[in-house]
Structure 1
Amino acid sequence: MADTVLSSAPRTAPRSPLARYAGRLAAATRGSRGQVRLAELPFLAQIDVRLDAKGAAADGVGLALGAPLALEPNTVVRAGAARVLWLGPDEWLVVGPAGSGRDLEHRIGAGGGEGHVSVTDVSAQRTTLLVSGPRARDLLAHGCALDLHPYAFGAGRCAQTTLARTQVVLVARDDPGAGFWVLVRSSFAGYLTEWLLDAATEYG
């Protein structure tokens, strides 16, 4: 009978896609004299939800989250500590605090009941950049074709778009002065961060 050896080596802590940029992001924030703030928000839970918005499952998922799913295109609904982003007529992205993915996935699945609901944890696909400060909109406008004026893209709006030719999900936070979330695929996160750091030198 073969012996089973259990490894006692400690598990290494997960490393975010932009961990090596933390110092440079902080330096850019300091150098801008408060005009822009750049930071990574690592490991946010991201749950992709697909269902019929007119079906009973949509109501059940809304009850499970504590807020109805956003039905107006490109809007965000606050659901406790999570945000529910409208991505399409039958698709939403639920973004929650780090470590909340399993709980959100369970609640959404249970809320959907017997309805046709697809629930997929996509947390590992993307990381999130925070871009805030008085010149945040100006900074993003350098590389984004959307009209980012507050009247067109104010608090509580979201969009799938491109920033510096990189596909992102852009979210205008609903907290005063909270700026924007830029959700970017991990494989493109370094490139986009380099672009943001370069563009931010204008405010230094």
Structure 2
Amino acid sequence: MANSINASGVDNTFRRKFDREEYLERAREREKQEADGRFKSKSKGPPVQRKPLKHRDYEVDLESRLGKTQVVTPIAPLSQQAGYYCSVCECVVKDSANYLDHINGKKHQRALGMSMRVERASLEQVRERFESLKKRSAPSSFTAQDLDERIIKQQEEEEERKRQRRERKKEKKVQKEKAAEEEAEIDPDVAAMMGFGGFRSNKK
């Protein structure tokens, strides 16, 4: 009964009221400080201008150490430890997928001095890029004569392979004949004394 009386006596309708004049005064004071230059920004120094993102002009080496064994010691420098070493960020990444994620990531690009924004290319730049890719993909001096030469060369290589196969068969045949002649030359009495009656099988 006492608890219910105490609960009923509590004023639950109270709401905190803010003094608008006080907060307006604080805002004016802050504006004054900003105008005077006394207000310090969180960032130290001027904002850094980074270059736009550009494509890589080198091949990423993922396979040079594939299948090789390496002794790893705890005192070895980072560049000689197991995994892929990034010389820009001075870190080691354990597998190729994570290494690609790292070199394409924001932290690595910032260390290279680039932002993650891509520069908008003009129409002329796109045309030049297409032209360079066409020149790279299609050989300029490819003619029907080159095709004929390649076909003739391939036929010659095939003939050479066939000739080598025939020679190997002949050599095997000669070796079999020599073995048969040597077997015929063995004296049957000597063969019986040695415990074998020739090299011929007993099967008929």
Normalized per residue, the structure richer in helix is 2
Greater CA radius of gyration, 1 or 2? 2
**TM-score tier after normalising by the smaller chain length:** under 0.3
Higher relative contact order (CA 8 A, sep 6+): 1
TM-score (norm 2): 0.19
